[in-house]
Amino acid sequence: MDYRQFRAFVAVFEERNITAAAQRLHLSQPALSGSIRLLEEALGTALFVRKARGVEVTDDARALYPQLRRMVAEADDLAQRFRQRGARARLTIGVEEDVARSTVQHLAATARACVPGLQLHLLAQCEGDARLASEELRCEDELFLPLLSERYVLALPAQALPPDHAADPATDWIVCPSHTSHQRLVPLYGSRADSPAALAGNFSLALDLVAAGVGRAIVPESLAQAMPGVQTQPLEVELKRRIGLCYNVQALGNGALARLRDGVVGMGAKPSF
């Protein structure tokens, strides 16, 4: 078994098509098929079932894929480091809205610890090799690598308002109906969920309304702590969200992301689909 066979296996597994995998690796179809056949013979098992359109993967292939994907990524990363001596590993991560600065700082510190000399490029929202986001924003075809968990809290104006401006606790909810978390929070709003004091497109905007004295909102604790003019109270029912990296399997071709993933996993995190 050798690197070329591993690389061929990974391409076919991800593409589910011999032709597409061959084009991706700039190989002829016979050469690619030969590499897969040699790997199957060495392992003593079938890895793919050829169909009229594409291939199906076997259970053995599913078990083998994570290991070979990591080995190929590490080999590619090693080769790149020798080809580009002195060049930094690069990783681009998009930061979704409603992620606190403290969480971004936690990611940056973790990334530099796992990938020394890393050149980290942060962009806004859905960009890059991976996205820093809540688990609720993970797409169906993405993996999720959790970095931290935080609770939801009740956010209230920090200062008491004059009587003629005070919100009515029975009707002062500020809600985010378009947010992915909304359905989880609806039961906590009670009978007033359909008649809120205000609507917001995200938690950060909801907190602006809270600070202005418009009403109260249920938001992640890290965002509330960073907002001036807001105080928090624990909820009667504990509710949490997980923040981490959302990424496609193909993105692990970037050795820096693969090393970050392995480093975080080594700290006890468990990637999930």
Contacting residues for 148 by C-beta, under 8 A, at least 6 apart = 103, 106, 242, 243, 244
Question: Which CATH fold topology does 90-148+242-266 show?
Answer: D-Maltodextrin-Binding Protein; domain 2 (3.40.190)
Q: Which helix (H) or strand (E) holds 255?
A: helix 255-266
d(Cα 188, Cα 233) in Å, to the nearest integer?
Answer: 14
Has domain 3-83 been given CATH number 1.10.10.10? yes
What pLDDT is recorded for position 171? 54
What pLDDT is recorded for position 77? 74
Fold agreement between 90-148+242-266 and 149-241:
yes
- φ, ψ for residue 142, nearest 5 deg: -105, 155
What pLDDT is recorded for position 163? 47
Contacting residues for 54 by C-beta, under 8 A, at least 6 apart = 16, 17, 18
What pLDDT is recorded for position 270? 57
What pLDDT is recorded for position 167? 46
Residue 234 contacts residue 152 (beta carbons within 8 Å): no
Question: Which CATH fold topology does 149-241 show?
Answer: D-Maltodextrin-Binding Protein; domain 2 (3.40.190)
> Residue ranges per domain, the chain?
3-83, 90-148+242-266, 149-241
What pLDDT is recorded for position 111? 93
Which residues of the chain, if any, have pLDDT below 50? 161-168, 170, 273
